[in-house]
Chains A and B, each alone.
Chain A
Amino acid sequence: MLTYLFIMLATFAVASAVATVLSKNTVTSALFLVLNMVTLAGVYLLLKAQYLAIIQILVYAGAIMVLFLFVIMVLNVDDEGSIMKQISFKLVLGFLLGTAVLAQLIYAIGSFTDTLPVISTAMEDVGTVEAIGDVLYSKYLLPFQLTAILLTAAVIGALLIAQHKSNSRPS
């Protein structure tokens, strides 16, 4: 049962990823990426990481992608032609490099397979909110606070960079 679930989710994930990369319309790309993230949330559930699955949907799909869509709509980008049409040097090089990366990764995974364990049964409590909260506020308190500062800084930075220039012109 789980296997079938996994295969379905995996197919959806890969397909939506390919669609993100290859589609002409920018908005379509963004929406496919959202689909990708939701499928990944499903995979997380398969792995019994409940908290992260929900957070993935809430934060990534819900906030970050919305931000992306806002920017796309503000910028009013043109559709570009399908990239598969022109076979250019850059295209070929990109595919080659991608293949090389994939080959390397598969090799790495393959050489370690026999040393990897099966899904542990103790995992039942691992992905729960209590478990994460337990560790987050005790052992990882400092990174937690630092992340808060980081996000604040990012927000301020984004505001400063993207604001309208006319506001800063002296009258």
Chain B
Amino acid sequence: MISISWFLGLSAVLFTIGVIGVLVRKNAIIMFMSVELMLNAVNLSLVAFSSHFGDINGQILVLFVLCVAAAEAAVGLAIIIAIYRNNLSVDITKINLLRW
């Protein structure tokens, strides 16, 4: 039998990869995809716990996280398109009007 800690370990690794992706890349869309990766990792750990405790609430929560992630993806990509229109680039280091 697979103990839960394997699943949680996998979730941790995926989460870390997502964090590194957010910190290291400068393409906005890739950053966004890394965020999706992080969300997926969290979903995984939620489902793992739900299965192991026999509690359905975890899976419901995953469902809602999924919906919210979808909404967020839509809006975020729309913003990226709007920024691209103004600056003709999705390189985040070039979008720094709010600096001191």
Q: Do A and B come from one complex?
A: yes
Q: B62, A52: Cβ atoms under 8 Å?
A: yes
CB contact between A13 and one of B8, B14, B72 (< 8 Å): that residue:
B14
CA distance A46 to B8 in the complex (A): 14
- Residues of chain A within 8 A (CB-CB) of B59 are 49, 51-52, 126-127, 132
Interface centre among B3, B29, B30, B43 (most CB of A within 10 A): B30
**B-side interface size class:** 35 or more
- Residues of chain B within 8 A (CB-CB) of A153 are 71
A 21-65 contacts with B by CB, 8 A: 21, 26, 29-30, 33, 36-37, 40, 43-44, 46-49, 51-52, 55-56, 59-60, 63-64
The answer, yes or no, to whether A170 is at the interface (CB within 8 Å) is: no
Q: B63, A136: Cβ atoms under 8 Å?
A: yes
The answer, yes or no, to whether A171 is at the interface (CB within 8 Å) is: no
- Residues of chain B within 8 A (CB-CB) of A36 are 14, 37, 40
- Residues of chain B within 8 A (CB-CB) of A158 are 74-75, 77-78
